[in-house]
Amino acid sequence: MKNDQEKQNRQPDDGEILKLFQAREEDALRRTEEKYGALLRRSAARFLDDPRDVEETLSDALLAAWNAIPPAEPENLPAFLVTLARRAAISRLRGLTRAKDVPAEHLLALEELEEVLPDASGAEDALLAKELAASIEDFLRRQPPRLRAIFLYRYYASCSVEEISRRLFVSRSTVEKELKKARQALKAKLKDEGYEV
């Protein structure tokens, strides 16, 4: 009897969860939420302030996983789920933007940077975030002052391209070129450091 209780209390491994999805067992959703719910809520909370929106995003991410597996067979289940949660959170933010609650420029900046930054997953989430922040700070220190200013205005202050152009007295196309150059260089640096981007 004790062994049965231990079996129920232990977390299933990712392979077991994926088998439940592939067999279309609804228990897959419950097990996924039990194991990764906190991680997915943290991922959504990076974008959303309202706890109700975070819970809705978790439900959306779980539904997306249900619809994707199969045919998808993710090798890294937590990273796959975090990506789904992030997409669901951005989608929810878009809906809020239509209601004028969130500046559209903030969303656009997040989407641009999303292509460059790696997924964080599992217990290493906080450590990975610290290491990633240090890598980005190192990257920015090595950039020319104008590119650094453009990057910070765009991705930390969520300024529009037009606003950055006005503030720095450069053309819109210069700002766009510098941002693209910065994203490519940052992506290359993170890949060199072993991040999956």
What would the pLDDT profile of 122-136 be if each residue is shown by its tens digit?
434 555 666 777 778
Residue 192 has pLDDT above 90, yes or no: no
Give the Cα separation of 57 and 104 in Å (integer). Answer: 19
Given a cut of 70, is residue 165 above it in pLDDT?
yes
The helix or strand, by DSSP H or E, that contains position 12, with its residue range, turns out to be none
Structure tokens given for 124: 């290493």
Q: Tell me, which fold does domain 1-102 have in CATH?
A: Rna Polymerase Sigma Factor; Chain: A (1.10.1740)
The CATH class of the 103-197 domain is mainly alpha
Higher pLDDT among residues 155 and 102, named by residue:
155
49-105 residue pLDDT tens? 788 888 998 999 988 888 888 887 887 888 788 888 888 887 777 666 554 444 555
The closest of 191, 194, 178 to 112, measured between CA atoms, is 178
Instruction: Check residue 176 and give its pLDDT.
Output: 93
**Is the backbone of residue 7 left (phi > 0), alpha (psi -120 to 50) or beta?**
alpha
Task: Summarize the confidence of residues 17-39 as an average pLDDT.
Answer: 89
Residue extents of the structural domains in the chain: 1-102, 103-197
**Residue 1 pLDDT:** 47
Band (pLDDT 50/70/90 cuts) for residue 114 is low
Q: Is 24 left (phi over 0), alpha (psi -120 to 50) or beta?
A: left
pTM: 0.49
pLDDT for the residue 100: 47
Check residue 173 and give its pLDDT: 94
Q: Which residue has the tokens 């289940």?
A: 77
Are the C-beta atoms of residues 189 and 139 closer than 8 Å to each other? yes
CA–CA distance, 193 with 134 (Å, rounded to integer): 12
DSSP category for residue 196: -
- 39 vs 115, higher pLDDT: 39
d(CA 43, CA 40): 5
**Strand, helix or coil for residue 36:** helix
SS3 82: helix
Residue 137 CA from chain centroid, whole number = 19
